[in-house]
Every structure is written in C-alpha cells, then in structure tokens.
Amino acid sequence: MTDKLVNHQSVSLKIKTDRPVLKTPYQIKGVLMKQFPKSEIVPMLNGSYRKKYLYPRIQVKILNGEIIILGVKEGVDPLLKIKDSLSELNFGDITFNVENCSDEIGTQLFRLSSSLIEYNFISGWVALNQNTRKQYFSKDESRKLDFLNTLIGENIVFISKELGFDFKSNIFTKITLQSLDPVKTEQKNWGLFEGKFFTNVNLPNYIGVGNGITRGFGTLFNSEVFEKDIENENSFEELNQESLKSKPLIEENNFSSSLIEIDINRVSKPKISKKRKTRRKKSFSRKPIKSEKNNFSKSKKKSEEPINYNSHEYHQKQHSIT
C-alpha cells in the first residue's frame, strides 16, 4: 500500500446504541463536541473549518435509528481517536448507551474501475437548489435525466479534486430515479430525489453528495467489493462504446438516463476565495447620522438574504443537543 493511498483513506463508524436514536445529525454533533471538547473533531463539526475545507471531512448520518459517522482524509485520525471512548451519548433529556462501535476503513478512494459500480441513495439526494431549479424545470423528461446525470458526475469530480485526487481519465455515470418530480424539503427551492446511480469511481460507503450533506442528505451505499483500480485509459473503451449506444429509458416509477462520459476538465479545481480586508484610515470628520428609514431598509435587506448554511455561525445555532 502506498503512502498516497494511506493519506486518502476513509473511515465509517457504526454506533449501535441500546435503543433507536431519534435525533438530528446536528444534535449528534453537539453531543460529540460537548463530550470531547478538546478533540480534533470539534472544529470539523462546528463549522470552524468551513473556510478551510469546501467538503466536510466528518459527516454524521442517522439511518434507521443507528448513528453512522464518516471521516474522510483529514477527518479519519480525529474520528478514530475518539472511537474507544464512545461509551454513551448524553443528550440531557435522554442518554444512549453505546453497545458496539465498529469501523470500516477505506483505502482506495476515488480509484477508477473498468466497470460500473452501483450506488444507492439511502437518504434522499438533494440535487436541486436555488441555482439549478429553474434550469431543471425548463427541460423535457429526457433532458431532465441528462441534467441530473451530469450534476451527479460533476459533483463526484468536484469532491475528488477538493480532497486532493486527480482523475487521469474522464469518468462515466448513469442515473436511475423513481420519479422526475422532486420532493420538497423544509429548505425553500431544494429538490430531493430517490433512486440510485452507476459510475466507474470507487466511493466510500456513507459519503454524501449534493446539497445538505451536513444534514445527512445524499448518503450513498454500495454492497460491492472494489477489487482493483485501472490506470490504463484503454481499459475504459468498453464503457466508452456503451455510452455511445446508450439511450434513456422512461417508464412508470423508472426513469433511467443514458450512460454519459463526464469531462473532468469542465470541473475546475475548487478554490477557497480569500477576501482581503482593507483597512480604512482613521478620520476625524463627523459621520452622518443614519436615519431610521435607512437603518430599517438595510436590516430588511439583510433579513431577505438567503441563509448561509456553510457558515460557522449557522452550525453553532444548529448544535442544540436537546
């Protein structure tokens, strides 16, 4: 195993408690930060690293009353360090005893395969937001499928680049959904889909894609064992030929896209913008008195701005543990 693979591993912790956990991912994170205040996981959970990492390194999921915590790349070691200390989860109003905490280590993330791997959305995939919703509804059924298929493919490329992986070849994706009518969520303009997709990229179980990852949306799972990776571009010739012949299938409760090739060069390498603060020189001139009307209009404008779910402030508000 090379150092490169070791550095790019993942770990998922499956926490089995004495009763089903009916809490939100944010409440789980709140408990972990309270019980391990000096742990390296804290800044990865409370939003402090949102300006450092565009993709969350630690993700909390609640599936069928069971807690699953995924750590990728920099989130792996901090998560493993607290594993043996997870004996209980105290929410104040209720305490869950941890009966078992197992882990699954991934060491070949984002490696390419010559065949397709099936991934199921075990929590709804929020594909649409305020930026993509209008584009989606302007298309017919087959183009809607292509649009969503491209979204998932480019999202995978984006995540891989943000985590430090660079594909040497284009990737292939194909999506199958139960419906093309998105399910509404509590967040305005979001659109959620149920189904599965296929790609030739090896992804860790329980990784999140799309919008709302920190809320547990877009969680993936596959039951296949990834045996070997492919470095030779010629190995993808069969997939390339299949994509050329592939056609969408539209039936009742079965909407399958064609297999498409995702151009990895269309997705730029993620960059975190660093806004430089310019210092103003002190002035001894009197500042004009702001009228109540101006103050009201500014506060109104601020309240109408969309909530930044990627901010440290928003995460702090969500981490109430009761």
pTM for the predicted model, two decimal places: 0.81
pLDDT for position 308 = 46
Query: How far is Cα 66 from Cα 239, in angstroms, rounded to an integer?
Result: 37
pLDDT for position 267 = 92
Phi, psi of 6, deg, nearest 5? -60, -45
Residue ranges, CATH 3.30.70, the chain: 3-107, 112-266
CB 58 within 8 A of CB 11: no
pLDDT for position 300 = 44
Query: How far is Cα 96 from Cα 217, in angstroms, rounded to an integer?
Result: 23
- The topology under which CATH files domain 112-266 is Alpha-Beta Plaits (3.30.70)
Q: Residue 230: which residues within 8 A CB-CB, separation 6 or more?
A: 111, 112, 113, 114, 236
pLDDT for position 270 = 78
In single-letter form, the type of residue at position 184 comes to K
Helices (H) and strands (E) in the chain, counts: 9, 15
Instruction: Please give the chain's pLDDT, 322 residues, in tens.
Output: 333 434 448 999 999 999 999 999 999 999 999 999 999 999 999 988 888 899 999 999 999 999 999 999 999 999 999 999 999 999 999 999 999 999 999 888 899 999 999 999 999 999 999 999 999 999 999 999 999 999 999 999 999 999 988 898 999 999 999 999 999 998 999 999 999 999 999 999 999 999 999 999 999 999 776 555 555 556 788 999 999 999 999 999 899 999 999 999 999 877 766 654 444 544 444 445 444 444 444 444 444 444 444 445 545 555 555 5
pLDDT for position 319 = 55
pLDDT for position 281 = 46
Which CATH code of 3.30.70, 3.60.21, 1.10.10, 1.10.760 fits the domain covering 3-107? 3.30.70
pLDDT for position 289 = 46
pLDDT for position 106 = 86
pLDDT for position 305 = 44
Contacts 24+ apart (CB under 8 A), 214-217: 214/25, 214/26, 214/56, 214/59, 214/60, 214/309, 214/315, 215/24, 215/25, 215/26, 216/24, 216/25, 216/59, 216/60, 216/61, 216/62, 216/123, 217/123, 217/124, 217/125, 217/126, 217/192
